[in-house]
Structures are given as C-alpha cells and as structure tokens.
C-alpha cells in the first residue's frame, strides 16, 4: 500500500464525488492506474489547483476502498472511497509555506517550490508517509477538540501547564469524537453559524452558537462527513429533520440552488411550522456553492426519512 495525492478541480470533466469516488484517465498517464491499485486500503489527500481566493489546495483526506474500470468509457477508471473515511480539513493546507512545499517532489534542488512542470502536474501522485503526516497535522491539528472546547469557555483560555495529548494521525482520522468536532466546525462555518431553515443565529452569553451540525444522510447509513452532507440547524429543527418531520427537495435539477423545505403536515401543526421556518420555505445555502447540499443526499433523506417520524408528543398541549 502507498499514500497518494489526488488532484480534484470543482467543475472538471471528470465525474468526481470526493467523498465517494474519484475518476481518472490512464490514457493521459499510464502510471496512474498502477499507483491507484497500489494504494487500495491506504489513505489519500485531495488537492485542488487554482489561483487567488478560489484555490483550496489540500482540502480533505479519505481512504481508498477499490479501483475499477468505468463502464462505457475506455481507459477511464474510478477510485471508490471507503464509506465513513472522507474528512475535510479544518483549515485548507497551502501548497507551500514560505516557498517550501509539503511535497518534496514539488521542490527543486534548493528546496523551494518548482514554478513549472514536475510532479505537481500529475493528477495521481505518490505521497511519502512523513509528508502525509505533515499535511494532516496542518489541516487537522492534534488539539482540534481542545481548541473547540476552549473556543467559547473563557475559564480555560490560559493553562500553561497543560500538555496536549498527541494522538497518532490514523487514530484521529478514525475516532468518531474527533471527526464530529471537525465536521461541526466546517458545517457551522459554511453556514456562517446560522440555521439554514429558520435563519436564526442565536448565541449564548459566552458567544457559543446555538446552531448544530446535522448529517443529511446519517453516518451509520453510509453518509459521509462532507459539508455537502451537512446542514446547520437549530436544535429543534435538527430533531425534526432527523425524525423525518421535515425534509428538503430540489424541484428543478437544473437549479440546484433552489432547495425547498418540506413539512410533514399531518405530523407538524401549521402554526408550529410557520414559527420555525422561513416564510418562503427555501433553504439558505452557503456562499460557496461547493458546500451546497448534494442532491443525492437530499434525495436519500426524503425517500428514507421524510414522513416516517413520530413527534412523540413534542407538539402536544
């Protein structure tokens, strides 16, 4: 096994879903297929090229489950991602820091970034273990859980005696508690810490946002920790969403930015829905369309959860 960097560009010709699959052409570079096969069962890092504000650079990590030919497309192959392994970085990792790249293959003899050519143009390229660890430590810090816990609790702002517990990279990537913190931070940030259905951005006295991060398709049902499988919701609406009392719909597939909120009218009183949901019953989406809910996740929830909930007396007198 060996680790890889996979180059992903939003809106490219390839049918990529980073948390599920990655497509590449072996015709463009015959070595891609052998590299992908050697990496089955190991981890990859996603890199998005670009310039200026739109560049994401290294933005996520995932584990390869397998490699298979794409039916009907000669010389095209698809890397499948192991369910539950995809995790976006808490902060994007730049290609280089002070001119020195994380990937040694991108550096010249002087150790500084190559400006032209080299392995940086390869869509599927190897990544040494040390460099994988350095990228992960930058994008998913070891003390992320502690940082989040201290974020709104001034009682723990200063503790010079505390020594952060160093967890191995793979333990962080597989431990549910760590992943939940990383997911919550990314989803809240994408929605600017406001509920996507009510528009409320409530905070407690210490500044902690009331809004929660909900999975559209649950992790236990092969849902991922991608922001595209997440919603920022108030506690009540999160509860209702998980129980199928409300759902989402995209009436026109050609207009993915028009997401409607559906209400199970036979289970949710009209006056309750009117108080909790935007009057036009449209979802407020993140500014970055790369973070918009994926239509497939919305469809899964609507077909498998909507209308099946039991309010359990929450709305009773």
Q: What are the residues facing 209 on neighbouring strands?
A: 203
Largest CA distance in the chain: 74
pLDDT in tens, 142-165: 999 988 888 776 555 545 445 555
User: Which DSSP helix (H) or strand (E) runs through 87?
Assistant: strand 87-93
Cβ 9 vs Cβ 47: under 8 Å: no
pLDDT of residue 161: 47
pLDDT of residue 164: 52
Helix axes 144-151, 176-190, angle to 10 degrees: 50
The mean of the pLDDT values for the chain is 88
Q: Report d(CA 282, CA 128) in Å as an integer.
A: 46
pLDDT of residue 117: 52
Cβ 295 vs Cβ 250: under 8 Å: yes
pLDDT of residue 316: 46
pLDDT in tens, 110-131: 888 877 655 557 899 999 999 9
- Collapse the DSSP code of 139 into the 3-class scheme (helix H, G, I; strand E, B; otherwise coil) and give the result: helix
Domains and CATH numbers, the chain: 4-139 (3.10.590), 169-304 (no CATH)
DSSP letter for 12, please: -
pLDDT in tens, 261-287: 999 999 999 999 999 998 999 999 999
Identify which has the larger pLDDT, 232 or 111: 232
Q: How confident is the model at residue 259 (pLDDT cuts 50, 70, 90)?
A: very high
Q: Of 248, 212, 215, whose CA–CA distance to 232 is shortest?
A: 212
Q: Locate 255 and state its tokens.
A: 């207009």
Q: How confident is the model at residue 205 (pLDDT cuts 50, 70, 90)?
A: low
pLDDT of residue 272: 92
pLDDT in tens, 21-65: 999 999 888 899 999 999 999 999 999 987 654 566 899 999 999
Task: Give residues with Cβ within 8 angstroms of 133, minimum separation 6.
Answer: 169
Position 13 pLDDT exceeds 60: yes
Measured from the Cβ of residue 216, the count of other Cβ atoms closer than 10 Å reads 25
């Amino acid at each position: 096994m060996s680790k890889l960097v996979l180059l992903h560009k939003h809106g490219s010709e390839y049918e990529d879903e980073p948390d599920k699959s990655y497509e590449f052409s072996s015709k463009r570079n015959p070595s891609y297929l052998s590299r992908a096969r050697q990496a089955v069962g190991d981890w990859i890092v996603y890199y998005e090229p670009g310039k200026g504000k739109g560049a994401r650079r290294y933005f996520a990590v995932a584990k390869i489950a397998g490699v298979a030919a794409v039916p009907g497309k000669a010389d095209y192959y698809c890397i499948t991602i192991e369910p539950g392994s995809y995790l976006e970085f808490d902060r994007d990792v730049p290609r280089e820091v002070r001119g020195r790249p994380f990937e040694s293959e991108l550096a010249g003899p002087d150790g500084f970034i190559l400006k032209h050519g080299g392995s940086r143009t390869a869509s599927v390229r190897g990544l040494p273990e040390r460099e994988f660890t350095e990228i992960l430590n930058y994008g998913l810090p070891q003390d992320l859980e502690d940082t989040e816990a201290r974020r709104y609790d001034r009682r723990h702002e200063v503790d010079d005696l505390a020594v952060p517990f160093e967890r191995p990279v793979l333990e962080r990537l597989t431990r549910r508690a760590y992943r939940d913190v990383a997911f919550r931070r990314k989803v809240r940030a994408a929605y600017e810490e406001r509920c996507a259905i009510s528009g409320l951005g409530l905070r407690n006295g210490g500044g902690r946002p009331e809004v929660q991060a909900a999975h559209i398709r649950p992790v236990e049902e092969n849902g991922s920790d991608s922001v595209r499988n997440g919603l920022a919701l108030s506690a009540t609406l999160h509860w209702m969403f998980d129980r199928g009392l409300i759902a989402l719909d995209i009436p026109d597939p050609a207009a993915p930015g028009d997401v409607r909120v559906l209400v199970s009218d036979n289970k949710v009183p009209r006056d309750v829905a009117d108080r909790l949901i935007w009057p036009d019953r449209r979802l407020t989406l993140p500014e970055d369309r790369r973070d918009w809910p994926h239509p497939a996740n919305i469809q899964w929830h609507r077909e498998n959860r909507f209308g099946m909930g039991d309010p359990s007396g929450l709305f009773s007198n």
